[in-house]
């Protein structure tokens, strides 16, 4: 007799790897009430924040990944802070790419994105009371951008309060900003651990920046002299400070289309030029205009025997 019954039922074979569940889109909060509600849902663990102005790139993503690895929850803020832009700066043309930013946050496992407008952050208009960066905010970037660091610290302080974070991740790319945020947290007793993340670069050395989108193809070629100068300076680190400055300057003078604002080798805590006898960690920093775009870059270096480039400074 022919067996016409259906073949014996075998349990369906499981795929070798279960289908990946797509990462959940972060909650997006735009108002203080929305933030309060979404933030209270994260009260079961420590919260790290990554503060950004949007137009996210791999540099931002790296900050988020590092925060993700060390903390239960990650909040990303996306806020173009008018307080830290001068009247002649690029606030109006700054790239705004919210949808793409949200995709990056989703892929990186962010829990909450806080993306307020200026009236949410400054409901009474310009704040009469601001955080003062003090003398460290008047040099280097502060000299080129008066008031920038007071505006930056004011919003960073507000966002630390609003997000109730226990840690905040910032890029070494903005070395003076990082130093001032550390100082603010220490001097004003913010209970927040500030974590520095090394600068993320394009394969050719250009430091990633949202402002790189302003560069034309030839600007971009020109801009490479900044990171090349830093590398050359770091290579001369074993020979001492003047050798570092000389080597870096030699690269910059070969590129007349880069209008250098400053090239300095300074102490990482005081931002004062290190003297010739100095041996130890120092910040080699450069700023300049390429086309219509102002770019900054820096390398932490160890000056003296066995010296060279460092990823970040050893002090916390």
Does 60 participate in catalysis according to the annotation?
Answer: yes
- Decide if residue 52 touches ligand AMP (CB under 6 A): yes
CB of 13 to ligand AMP, least distance (A): 45
E-strand ranges in the chain read 27-29, 47-52, 73-78, 112-114, 167-171, 193-197, 258-266, 280-290, 293-303, 308-309
Which part of the chain contacts ligand AMP (CB under 6 A), choosing from 196-204, 234-242, 250-258, 292-300?
A: 196-204
- Residue of the chain from 34, 174, 239, 273 that contacts ligand AMP (CB under 6 A): 174
Nearest CA to 176 out of 51, 59, 287 is that of 287
User: Does 200 interact with ligand AMP (rule: CB under 6 A)?
Assistant: yes
Q: Which of 120, 208, 248, 265 binds ligand AMP (CB under 6 A)?
A: 208
Q: In angstroms, what is the minimal distance from the CB of 199 to ligand AMP?
A: 4
- Cβ atoms within 10 Å of 43's Cβ, excluding its own: 9
The number of residues that bind ligand AMP (CB under 6 A) is: 17
Stretch (H or E) spanning 236: none
Q: Which of 38, 42, 60, 74 touches ligand AMP (CB under 6 A)?
A: 60
β strands within 65-220, DSSP E: 73-78, 112-114, 167-171, 193-197
Binding flag, residue 199, ligand AMP (CB under 6 A):
yes
Tokens standing for residue 171: 């890029």
Rounded CA Rg of the chain = 23
Catalytic center residues: 60
* Interface residues toward ligand AMP, by CB under 6 A: 52-53, 59-60, 62-63, 170-171, 173-174, 197, 199-200, 207-210
């Amino acid at each position: 007799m022919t067996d016409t019954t259906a073949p014996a039922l075998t349990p369906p074979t499981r795929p070798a790897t279960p289908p990946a569940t797509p990462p959940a889109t972060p909650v997006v909060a735009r108002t203080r009430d929305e933030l309060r509600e979404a933030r209270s849902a994260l009260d079961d663990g420590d919260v790290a924040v990554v503060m950004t102005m949007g137009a996210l790139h791999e540099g931002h993503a790296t900050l988020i990944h590092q925060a993700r690895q060390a903390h239960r929850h990650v909040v990303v803020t996306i806020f173009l802070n008018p307080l830290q832009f001068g009247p002649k700066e690029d606030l109006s043309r700054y790239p705004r790419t919210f949808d793409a930013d949200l995709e990056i946050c989703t892929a990186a496992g962010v829990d909450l994105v806080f993306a307020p407008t200026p009236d949410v952050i400054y409901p009474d208009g310009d704040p009469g009371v601001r955080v003062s960066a003090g003398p460290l905010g008047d040099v280097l970037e502060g000299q080129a951008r008066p008031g920038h660091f007071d505006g930056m610290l004011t919003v960073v302080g507000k966002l630390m309060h609003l997000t109730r974070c226990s840690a905040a991740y910032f890029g070494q790319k903005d070395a003076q900003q990082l130093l001032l945020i550390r100082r603010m947290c220490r001097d004003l007793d913010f209970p927040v651990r500030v974590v520095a993340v090394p600068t993320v670069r394009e394969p050719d050395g250009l430091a990633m920046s949202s402002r790189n989108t302003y560069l034309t193809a030839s600007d971009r070629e020109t801009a490479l002299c900044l990171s090349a100068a830093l590398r050359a300076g770091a290579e001369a680190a074993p020979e001492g400070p003047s050798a570092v400055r000389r080597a870096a300057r030699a690269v910059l003078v070969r590129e007349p289309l880069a209008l250098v604002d400053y090239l300095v080798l300074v102490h990482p805590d005081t931002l004062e030029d290190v003297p010739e006898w100095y041996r130890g960690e120092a910040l080699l920093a450069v700023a300049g205009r390429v086309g219509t775009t102002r770019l900054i870059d820096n390398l932490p270096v160890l000056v003296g025997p066995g010296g060279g480039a460092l990823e970040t400074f050893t002090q916390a």
